[in-house]
Amino acid sequence: MIVVTGAAGFIGSCLAKELARENKEMVLVDDFSKSEKAENLQELANFPKIERTEFFDWLETEPAIETIYHIGARTDTTEFDYSILEELNLEYTKKIWKYCADNGVNLIYASSAATYGDGELGYEDSHVLPNELVPLNAYGVSKNEFDKWALVQKDQPPHWYGLKFFNVYGPNEYHKGRMASVIMHAFNQIKKTGEMKLFRSHNPAYKNGEQLRDFIYVKDVVSVIEFLANNTPQSGLYNLGTGCARTFLDLTVNVFKAMGLEDNIGFIDTPADIRDKYQYFTEADMTKLKSAGYTKEFYNLEAGVHDYVTNYLMEGKYY
């Protein structure tokens, strides 16, 4: 049996659906009271569901778990109450780790590229770097604190992987609101107004719209997670991006193209509450994952945006 936490969320639901299509025996964990995520559970109605708050009580009675995919987290990068992030992203994950270590259960958990801060120290998924990183927001701090904690534990799961997700986009993020990908925001804004407003650059090193991010399609994220689970390479932290940074202008032009429309792009100031915590460049160093044997080509931005817009957003469909 396998367990997926965050199973009603964006990445978690895509992963759970892929595992369901492979006829895996699976239990889903999340806060299932949030109605805005209910549609993500299409095709998963027949799988047992455990409320997040009841998960550890359930674990005491459940034998024979092979792997826990801990994708659930508080992912709001504008959350300033660290106590909430500490509880959900740090202490909750420690309890899952300890259960896996004590019971011989493999663990794959969601870390984040937000741990890298402004990128001054680079984007190498080494095990030395976390102690030097200075994340730009409380969310990134919570993720980095767990990475640091995990790396010094003597008792470990048989195989464990902390995945530093870069900018993930794709179906099943309809519920994420402000935290949804720029692709989804662009689609909705273009559909409503015929134009797209990008954040203006407040860094003289970058022109407006030329801020760079490593955008990765959720289908690639699921593929990598399954590769790690099935092939069990060396445990540790792994970047999960494409290794190729692209501009927000590139992204937006491709959304217009996928919608069959001419570009109409303007700029607005970056909101004050995130301006000093804004990452202007991210690009995953993918050497470790490739050295572990992952050879599948990632969707490039053009292909990923086209698939997402034409097959999901324009149709209102889910993964």
Provide the annotated active-site residues: 139, 176
The CA-CA-CA angle for residues 191, 177, 78, to 5°, reads 135
Half-sphere exposure of 198 (CA within 13 A, CB side): 23
Identify the bridge partners of residue 168 per DSSP, sorted by sequence position: 216
The CA-CA-CA angle for residues 161, 163, 167, to 5°, reads 170
Give the list of residues 6+ apart from residue 13 with CB closer than 8 angstroms, or none.
Answer: 7, 37, 40, 41, 44, 172, 318, 319
φ, ψ of residue 281 to 5 degrees: the values are -150, 130
φ, ψ of residue 272 to 5 degrees: the values are -60, -30
Instruction: State the DSSP H helix or E strand holding residue 51, giving kind and residue range, or none if neither.
Output: strand 49-51
- Residue 50 contacts residue 100 (beta carbons within 8 Å): no
- The count of other CB atoms within 10 Å of the CB of residue 134 is 13
Kindly give the pairing relationship between strand 215-217 and strand 265-268: unpaired
